A and B are shown apart, each in its own frame.
Chain A
Amino acid sequence: MTRDDLITATAAKLRLRRDDFTRVTRVLLVSLVSVAVVVTISAVPGCGATHTLLGIHEAPAVAAGSVPLTVDKARLIVSRSFDAAHLGATTTGAAGARTLRGAYSSEGLRAMAGRVKLASVQPLRATSALRAQHPTLLAVSRGFGFPRFIIAQTVESDGGLPVLHLLVSPDAATPYRISMSVEMVPPAAVQPFAPLSRGSLMVTHGTGLVVAPATLLNRYAAGMAFPAKAVAKAPFASDSFSGQVRAGAAGVAKAVATQATFTQVHTVVPRSVFTVRQANGDALVFGAIERTDTFSVKKGQSVNTSGNKAFVLLSGKKRIATRATITTLEFVVFAVPRSTGPATLVAAREQIVAGSGS
């Protein structure tokens, strides 16, 4: 039996004409092949047809200049930190200390711990600024590097001076915490930063500024020493804060002259300098300076310190016979121009943090 005879016989068995049988067979074959093709191409991972139909594509690349924080998230972080700071400052004991550690970091935490210790002699006035209902966000970080920052401003509810707050996250696992809160010095103003949606860049090397931030703070600290040391070609304009510090040191030295020798040293706290570029190319520089007041008691003398309540609280000493030191943190914020002119002090605050004596 030939192939044609077989087809004819099969068609006859199915009671079909030979031509109809051939067409039906072709349609069935095409259908089966179609189903097989569809199943095969759809089952292949990364199948082009399915991907095209569903709109599947490669994930977009990371944009280096994007802002990791949304504005809403930044506001939440600031509110959370301020709430914790206020709670920590107004809660006593271990719970208060734990809350403060969640709100503040580095020198900010040291200063706040000192402030809480001295609450009985130094009222916690500045914390009322943290209760501001709507802190103003000034700047957030641009890019995905660390550390990241948020700069916010508050105005005390009783109409006091505006306060600049720097919040820093040092790495992905560590949340933003308040690194420093510094009262502005009248009549200073802060130039605008880039829009929050674009973020602001951190300046790491000081290029593109009239003076490198680290150099500026080192020379500013050196200029406040007592006994005074001349600072040639100071890169900063004179300001009321350093004037008060120097005048205060001279006054203390004079007051204790018969009983002790007074010296004062200012040292920039390592890794405390933080610089953020502003929209016009200038920069805002935050820094912490540690001031050490040293009293070397003269031979045969004894100094009654009970008048200095802060020192007594921190050191537990009401009388010293040899030596006493008081450590104070000075937080400063400078506006540093891009090309010409001196840096100007925008904000400053000091806080006694430690005392010891013998």
Chain B
Amino acid sequence: MGIILVVFGAWVVVKLGPSGEAQFSATSKAPGAVVVPPGVLNAVDGQVRVDATRRDGGLVRLVVAPSTDARAMLTTAAVSTVGAAHYPSGTLDLHPSGTGELPDVSTSDVWRQAVKGTGTAELVVDQARAPETVVITSGDTTALTDVTVSLTWADRAWFFEALAVATLGAVLAAFALNDLWQGRVQAAQRVAANTETTEETA
């Protein structure tokens, strides 16, 4: 048990690093927008950083809205929706759906936050107004292709929790090894005592 905790805790410590960052990414090749639904975006209590990078260096726009409004905006539009995040591989599942044209998201007022950039853009979403959805587009009605999306959760508490787990495991393992060592010594002493008794009898 102690060794399990040491291995698990130490491994998570190494994966997260001192900043407690867990990062997942995927590259969407299907044309259309990329959607990060609340099941992924609002799965933890801390802030989530969403980064999008276009390989062709074109304009990229990230917007966030209440999930019902985002759904109403996209309806039948071609989108790739982020599914499960895989840990520790750091990958995201993307599920393409829809074939319709993307509406011009820049004119709508449903977006609570919006950022845009050339080639890359980044949006930090807190959890105060969850459930929300992030939509990544080209900034107009043209479809995005070949865009890499990264989601980063950061919580220093995760690092220290993992460290605590590893430490607890190390303590347990130390006790267990000590017990094993003591058993070895006692066995050796028993063997020595038996040998002496035999010699005296002879």
Verify if A171 is at the interface (C-beta below 8 Å from B).
Answer: yes
Q: Chain B: which residue is nearest A72 at the CB level? A: B112
Return chain A residues, CB-CB under 8 Å to B124. none
Interface residue ranges of A167-224 to B (CB < 8 Å): 169, 171-176
**Extra inter-chain contacts (11) besides given A171-B72, A174-B107, CB under 8 Å:** A19-B188, A31-B3, A34-B4, A42-B11, A42-B88, A53-B12, A54-B155, A57-B43, A58-B39, A68-B110, A173-B104
Task: Give bound CA distance, A187 to B43, whole Å.
Answer: 53
Q: How large is the interface on A (under 10, 10 to 19, 20 to 34, 35 or more residues)?
A: 35 or more
The one of A31, A46, A60 in contact with B131, judged by C-beta atoms closer than 8 angstroms, is A60
User: How many residues of chain B have a CB within 8 Å of chain A?
Assistant: 49
Q: Scoring A residues 47 to 78 as 1 if CB is less than 8 Å from chain B, else 0, what string do you get?
A: 10110011111111110001011100100010
B73-106, CB < 8 A from A? 73, 84, 86-89, 103-104
Q: Nearest Cβ in chain A — how far from B112, in angstroms?
A: 7
| B22:A173 contact, CB within 8 angstroms | no
Q: Which residues 35-92 of B have a CB within 8 angstroms of A?
A: 37-39, 41-46, 66-69, 72-73, 84, 86-89
Which residues of chain A come closer than 8 Å to B39, judged between CB atoms?
58-59
Check B161 against A23 for contact (C-beta < 8 Å): no
Residue A119 at the chain B interface, CB threshold 8 Å = no
B69 touches A49 (CB 8 A): no
Q: Counting CB contacts under 8 A, is B156 at the interface?
A: no
Q: Tell me if A62 and B67 are in contact (CB < 8 A).
A: yes
CB-defined contacts of A95 to chain B, threshold 8 Å: none
Asked if A30 and B88 sit within 8 Å, CB to CB, the answer is no
Query: In whole angstroms, what is the CA distance A62 to B107 when docked?
Result: 24
Among B45, B69, B187, the residue within 8 A (CB) of A55 is B45
- CA gap between A20 and B88 in the complex, in Å: 36
Do A30 and B84 touch (CB < 8 A)?
Answer: no
Chain A residue, CB-CB nearest to B128: A70
> What is the 8 Å Cβ interface bit string for chain B, positions 12-48, against chain A (1 contact, 0 not)?
1000000000100000000000000111011111100
Q: A70 — which chain B residues lie within 8 A by C-beta? A: 112, 129
20 contacts between A and B (CB under 8 A): A27-B177, A27-B180, A43-B88, A45-B84, A53-B165, A54-B155, A55-B158, A57-B45, A58-B43, A60-B38, A62-B67, A62-B68, A68-B69, A68-B110, A77-B109, A144-B68, A146-B72, A171-B72, A173-B104, A173-B108
List chain A positions with a Cβ less than 8 A from chain B.
19-20, 23, 27, 30-31, 34-35, 37-38, 42-43, 45-47, 49-50, 53-62, 66, 68-70, 73, 77, 144, 146, 169, 171-176
Complex CA–CA separation, A34 to B172 (angstroms): 14
Looking across the interface, which residue of chain B has its beta carbon closest to that of A22? B184
Contact A45 B86 (CB under 8 A): yes
Among residues of B, the one whose C-beta sits closest to the C-beta of A171 is: B72
Q: A54 contacts which of B68, B109, B158, B183 (Cβ < 8 Å)?
A: B158
- Nearest neighbor of B86 in chain A, beta-carbon distance: A45
Question: Is B42 within 8 A of A59, CB to CB?
Answer: yes
* B109–A56 CB distance below 8 A: no
Residues on A with C-beta less than 8 A from B69 are 68, 144, 172
Say if the beta carbon of B143 comes within 8 Å of chain A.
Answer: no
Judging by beta carbons under 8 Å apart, are A54 and B66 in contact? no
- Chain B residue at minimum C-beta to C-beta distance from A49: B8
Residue from B4, B44, B72, B84 within 8 A of A172 (CB atoms) = B72
Residue ID in chain B nearest A146 by CB atoms: B72
A-B residue pairs, 9 tightest by C-beta: A59-B38, A172-B72, A59-B42, A34-B4, A175-B109, A34-B3, A38-B8, A144-B68, A59-B131
- Of B67, B87, B112, B183, the residue contacting A50 (CB under 8 A) is B87
